[in-house]
Amino acid sequence: MLIKGLNHLAFITPDMEATIRFYRDLLEMDLTSGIGHDGFRHYFFKCGDGAVAFFEYEIAKPMAYDKFHGSPTDRPIGFDHVSFTVDSRKELFHLKDKLEAADIEVSGAVDHGTVWSIYFFDPVNNLPLEASWDCVAIASAPAILDTNPLPVAEEGASPQPGQWPEVTAPTPERQMIAHPGNGFAMRDDFVRRGLVRLTPDLKEVLDQQQSMEAITTAAE
């Protein structure tokens, strides 16, 4: 499998402080990393093996969203809602209780057959959110009940060969480099403060870059 998971979803907030209060302190999603400079912030909250991230800047506004989760619309919005996983039925209702205690409107639990869900909105950014408990385990995928099944879906769960062009010119390893972007400088700071560890692959790349720089300097 090529895609191993969701690295992060990125949204926009006009108020990072209130966003931290909601995601870290109420939803209990750890604040894992972030960068801020020149009126700009980008912070990450742990969500399983991935993260939910927010940008904050001066002109940011909450999402102008008045559609309830899953309801049809003819507007070209492209996004419906985000659903978070909880481990158990008790955890689902514990979250519901926490939301109600915070005076945040939340639906009753809905049994969707494969998941139980509750629905609510991020009170800071107006994002439509869901929390879901997987009440069954998929034993054979794809498990689909469709009155008009798509032939492409009936081909199976796994990637089907021959549907896209094959790679004929793979990137040579020496060209597998990345250009500095926003946040580039924070890695050295985090390493110096003992907040992160380099992956073996990145350490090898950095060692090679240092060797090439040393050779170039010596040649000059």
pLDDT of amino acid 70: 63
Q: Is the dihedral of CA 186, 187, 188, 191 positive or negative?
A: positive
**Distances from the Cα of 160 to the Cα of 56, 152, 154, 175, 184, angstroms:** 41, 9, 11, 29, 37
CA proximity to 84, closest of 73, 100, 70, 95? 95
Please name the amino acid found at residue 48: G
pLDDT tens by residue, 172-219? 988 888 888 888 888 989 999 999 999 999 998 888 877 766 566 666
Distance CA 32, CA 115 (A): 28
Question: What pLDDT was estimated at residue 219?
Answer: 62
Give residue 78's pLDDT. Answer: 61
pLDDT by residue (tens digit) across 154-165? 999 998 999 999
Q: Please, what's the b/e burial string for 60-91 (b: 16 or more CB within 10 A of its CB; e: otherwise)? A: bebbebeeebeeeeeeeeeebebeeebeeeee
Is 51 exposed, middle or buried (CB count within 10 Å of its CB: 0-12, 13-18, 19+)? Answer: buried
In this prediction, residue 181 carries a pLDDT of 87
Q: What is the mean pLDDT of the chain?
A: 89
Quote the pLDDT of residue 197: 93
Which regions of the chain are under pLDDT 70?
Answer: 67, 70, 72-78, 212-220
